[in-house]
Structure 1
Amino acid sequence: MDIIGIIPARFASTRFPGKPLAPLGSKPVIQHVYERAAKVLDAVYVATDDERISSAVKAFGGNVVMTSANHRSGTDRIREAMEKIGSGCDVIINIQGDEPFVSPVQIKALCDCFDDKATQIATLGIAFKHDMVAISNPNSPKIVVDNNGYAMYFSRSVIPFVRGAEANEWAGHYPFLKHIGLYGYRRKVLEEITCLPPSSLEMAENLEQLRWLQNGYRIKVGITDIETIGIDTPGDLEKAEAYLASQTACNRE
């Protein structure tokens, strides 16, 4: 099975303009992401609409594909990049450009989902700790899966509702699952889902994956025990710097 990785990256972030090029340690954020993905995947590309990002990727020896500035989502950008790459790949892995600590183990878990021929789309989930504050955070979407590991629903609300228990005790009654925003798609499925209009559930929750579920696509959920550290704001970058420094210190010991 031929699998490639594509990292969508744009400069014009509302909360943190230019974050793919923000320095983290001795490298820009996008280089950290690229190098981690390249440990697992034989072919990795950055898909961008910005020449500054393109130049930075080429400078560290990475592959880059220039795409339109008018895409509604990273998924649309990935579809264009896939067509320009011209690879006859079977599966495309979507790796977020603001996840500098994405683990090769996570990417491998996502790839393994496609060993099941029924998998059309794959993503990852991680068990929440018994912390209802974290579980209740609408910025951490929750997943409910069926007995075969396929997503039944994603929500910013706490799902499922635990009847007969106080809300602050729900974590002790059900293993809540947090969504991690890595995706994989079979080539034909990626072509199909990028032609779909926004759905009512997607617009209600502002979660693109609900468009796919609402249109009948099945999403396999791989389980990981590794948390991601995304960068959305300059404050997140400061936390990432501290984390990188701690990791570097541990590796020296």
Structure 2
Amino acid sequence: MRFSVLIPARLASSRLPNKPLADIGGRPMIVRVARQAALSQATQVVVAADDAAIVQACEAHGVQAVLTRSDHATGSDRLAEACELLGLDGDDLVVNVQGDEPLIDPVLIDECAAMLAHHQDCVMSTAAHSIESPDDLANPNVVKVVLDARQRAMYFSRAPIPWWRDAPQRGALHPDASPLRHIGLYGYRASFLRAFPSLAASPLEAIESLEQLRVLWHGHRIAVHISPEAPGVGVDTPEDLARVRALFGA
């Protein structure tokens, strides 16, 4: 199995300015993410940047990067351009690792790629893990996913799904069917990724603010790997950055 890891990186961030270049133990965060991804079985790891400063920081640390347009609306749009620049197309497999995940598990990256390779009827793959807390089930910032019998996504939602109608107390977790929390890691067939920006946005995508619903709305399928563990800490805020820096002894 051959696959590429692409990491979208955007310099602007409302909650954490210049986030890709934030120092973590003497290296920019985007470099930490790329080096962690390089521990997977990927044949190449490439940062898709929107600013020359990110490209320069990557090249200074031996990380491959390509400069993409700065006006892309989403990370998927940026990766679609990166596929063109790198000549990726057809059934080439691409795993999208977020640029703020310096603790991403390389094994999870491999599993996401393998899930797509093994599901020829799917254009995408992603990951999920069991929800153990009723608070997480009720939290709209925790995205949930429900699967069919072949581990393909039926729906993603910020609402608590599946809802246990006969629960002894409101919001209780069913003992035989734990809800699943979606992990924001995606595998793509390169041809689909390149075509994705041309797909019309779906009403469901707008309501839930979940881009992956566009894929399901257009009748495509997404395979889902169930991880036994929750992913590492991502970096969205200064507080997140401080926690990750502490883990690196910075």
The percent of aligned pairs where both chains have the same amino acid is 40
Given the alignment of the two structures, is residue 178 of structure 1 paired with residue 181 of structure 2, yes or no?
Answer: yes
Extract unaligned runs of 5+ from structure 2. Answer: none
Match for residue 70 of structure 1?
71
Q: Which runs of 4+ in 1 moved over 6 A?
A: none
Q: Compute the TM-score of the two structures, normalised by the length of structure 1.
A: 0.92
How is 1:1-253 mapped onto 2 (pairs within 5 angstroms)?
Answer: 1-40=1-40, 41-87=42-88, 90-113=92-115, 114-129=117-132, 131-165=133-167, 166-172=169-175, 174-228=177-231, 229-245=233-249
Q: Which amino acid aligns with 1:92?
A: V
Shift of 1:173: 5.7
Please tell me whether the aligned partners of residues 164 and 174 of structure 2 are also in contact (alpha carbons under 8 angstroms). no
Paired with 1:185 and 1:168, the residues of 2 have a C-alpha distance of 34
Shift of 1:190: 1.2
Extract unaligned runs of 5+ from structure 1. Answer: 249-253
Aligned length: 245
Paired with 1:110 and 1:63, the residues of 2 have a C-alpha distance of 22
- 1:190-213 deviation line (CA, Å, top 9, x unaligned): 122221121100000000000110
Q: Which amino acid aligns with 1:82?
A: C
Please tell me whether the aligned partners of residues 48 and 64 of structure 1 are also in contact (alpha carbons under 8 angstroms). yes
Please tell me whether the aligned partners of residues 173 and 179 of structure 2 are also in contact (alpha carbons under 8 angstroms). no
Q: Compute the TM-score of the two structures, normalised by the length of structure 2.
A: 0.93
Q: Which amino acid aligns with 1:157?
A: A
User: Which structure dedicates a bigger proportion of its chain to helix?
Assistant: 1
Root-mean-square deviation (CA, aligned residues, Å) is: 1.6
- 1:120-165 deviation line (CA, Å, top 9, x unaligned): 1000001112x11122111110000001000000000100111111
- 1:193-248 deviation line (CA, Å, top 9, x unaligned): 22112110000000000011000010000111232211111111112123334xx9
